[in-house]
Chain A
Amino acid sequence: MAETKSLIGTQNTKGQTYTDPWKLLHEAPRTPSFFTGSEVIKEAIRRASCDVMIAYPITPQSEAAALIGELFAEGYVGDYFRGESEFAVMSQCAGAAFGGARVFTTTAGPGTMRAMENFPMWAGARLPIQMIVTCRGINSPLSIQPDTLEIAYLLNTGMLVWHAETAQDFFDWILKGYIVSEEPEVHLPLALCCDGFFVTHTKDVVNLTPADMCLPPYDPYRSPVPCMDMECPPVRMMRDPFVMKSNYISYATHASWQQEIWAAVERSRKHSIHWLNGLIDTENTDADIMIVASGTAVSQGREAIRMLEDEGVRCGLVKVKTLRPWPEEEIREATKNAKHIFVPEFNVTGWLAKEIRATIPNHHRVHAGPHVCGGMTMPPEIIVSEIKTALGMKTFSLAGRGS
């Protein structure tokens, strides 16, 4: 059996040292670098001991996928190719993961939707594939602009779903994501989401770990299902397995199988808390007014809080880092003092507000908004305006200047 621990301290073919993940991410020196989010994805994958990367071009993830092609050319990624479509890509990712590879892919918007059938299959097959989702509009008429609606569709696939706010989150969470999702009792795919363009195409200072240190390789022998056993589920999908039978025990097996996937999401909670330093971050939880947000809406909320402070309104913040596992207890605790809870979102349906309403007591406290979508930006002024309106304070419209 491959012993991952025994490889720590040894070097790969690129001269990188396999490093204890905790030391790599918490103790190794960091170098500030000025990079776009796409470049940060590349730098994280350089350190991720990734075996296979497959993608299909779709804005705004194409740049990251192309940059990882450079990593392949340099020898940092074992194999790399473009699939025929997003559906093909995600199926090919499954094949690679079934074979025991550490797999990485990137997608966005309609690509995510096109490939959707594969995501519950990944989770059901317990494949710890990591997929970056650089969220964008998904509806017709076509929009390539930032919009987080696609995350709502991922929430019930059985995948882990994390929502990064910044490029720094992205760098750290790509590496931490593999550690959490490859734990044998978790062993689920991870959709690591960010708000397209806002994170992928803007530059930020990101503190990088040394390029000559990398994660230990994936150990497929710790998988909770046998890899590539063609005679057994989950690889064997057809030809008289229990999936094709109609009897009580067949249904019970299916039901237990599904429960086990969601049990694994629950088990990821402990590891996610450990590696992400909690499922949420909080500020001023004693305030009457709280903003609860994920992704770049957190950044806008933070700025709105600063502006409100200037006007004498004290406001707290909850940054939701993981959507699956859902931080139910944490959000309940963080919002227990709030009289008003505002949930700014970059999508039309307000899926985060719905999740929060289903989580907390007295859910009438939740104000689902402000919302923007279709690529609109969310100026902090509109969060301020929404809060002041709810408090009965005078506010001005930001929409125009009248006739």
Chain B
Amino acid sequence: MSDYRVLPGPEHFLPPAAASMGVRLPNPGEAHINGVITSEENAYEEAARQFLMANVPTIFPGPLVLWAWNEKAAKKATAIRHLFNTLKECVQPNQKPMLIPMPDYRPKYPKINPEIEINPNHPNLTIWHNKIDCCVFIGVHCHQANLSLKIIRGGTSCYTIAMCAQAGHEDAMLSFRDASVDKIMRLADTIKRLKGTVRPRLTPVKNAVSD
């Protein structure tokens, strides 16, 4: 097993891809935390804990769930809305959950509007602008998600979670695989269960601000 750990950054001017450092993806039924394979049960608990601890826990839904291009996508979108509502119910008043879409992957210049979207080509702008310290990617194409997760790890201290419908992401600090409506709902249930048991960070997070 690799000694490399996938941790919140800012890690490096150009951080390596975790896969190239020997981090392996989980098998079905597993997840990873910081690059170490673990059970899905542990991952639900840790993801919920990170969300409840964060100042600005944020969900980034991607194109695969933003449009009802099939029945499954529509159901996932409903589940993601439920996850967001659960999050809002479970955090304290001074925490600020956000739902910011990644509507597409078009390079947008001179800049995106970081208050309304995140783009894989410059995700750090959205993270910095909104002081996001924990986020989950859902419904983003795998290549674009990895691109973004690596840039976030390189230049911000945001804790990243991937709810991936395929094989998962080494470049996130925590990754599920084979994401389904059930798994999204289970994450929401875990957040609800842990409500009140996790102490929010509520302190400025290093480099989570734009200074």
Interface residues of A (CB under 8 A from B): 1, 126, 183-185, 187, 222-226, 229, 231-233, 236, 240-243, 245, 249-250, 252-253, 255-257, 259-260, 262-264, 266-267, 270
Bound complex: CA of A232 vs CA of B147, how far in Å? 14
Q: Which of B13-21, B48-56, B186-194, B200-208 contacts A (4 or more CB under 8 A)?
A: B13-21
**Main secondary structure on chain B at its contact with chain A?**
loop
Residue count of chain B within 8 Å CB distance of chain A = 37
A–B pairs, 30, beta carbons within 8 Å? A1-B70, A184-B142, A184-B166, A185-B25, A224-B141, A224-B142, A225-B141, A225-B143, A225-B144, A226-B105, A229-B104, A229-B105, A232-B104, A240-B109, A250-B121, A252-B151, A252-B155, A253-B122, A253-B151, A256-B17, A256-B146, A259-B14, A260-B17, A260-B150, A263-B18, A263-B146, A263-B171, A266-B19, A266-B20, A270-B25
- What are the 4 A-B residue pairs with the smallest beta carbon separation, nearest first? A224-B142, A263-B19, A263-B17, A224-B143
Task: Report how many A-B pairs have Cβ atoms within 8 Å.
Answer: 98
Min CB–CB distance A20 → chain B (angstroms): 16
Partner of B107, one of A187, A233, A263: A233
**Which residue, B18, B72, B124, B141, has most C-beta atoms of chain A within 10 A?**
B141
Interface residues of B (CB under 8 A from A): 14, 16-20, 24-25, 63, 70, 72-73, 104-107, 109, 120-122, 124-125, 141-144, 146-147, 150-151, 154-155, 166-168, 170-171
Min CB–CB distance B95 → chain A (angstroms): 29
Q: Given A126-B143, A183-B167, A224-B143, A259 and B107 touching (CB < 8 A)? A: no
Q: Given A233-B107, A256-B150, A185 and B121 touching (CB < 8 A)? A: no
Min CB–CB distance B70 → chain A (angstroms): 5
Bound complex: CA of A226 vs CA of B14, how far in Å? 26
Q: Given A185-B25, A260-B147, A232 and B122 touching (CB < 8 A)? A: no
**Which residue, A233, A242, A256, has most C-beta atoms of chain B within 10 A?**
A256
Decide if A259 touches B150 in the complex (CB within 8 Å). Answer: yes
Min CB–CB distance A183 → chain B (angstroms): 7
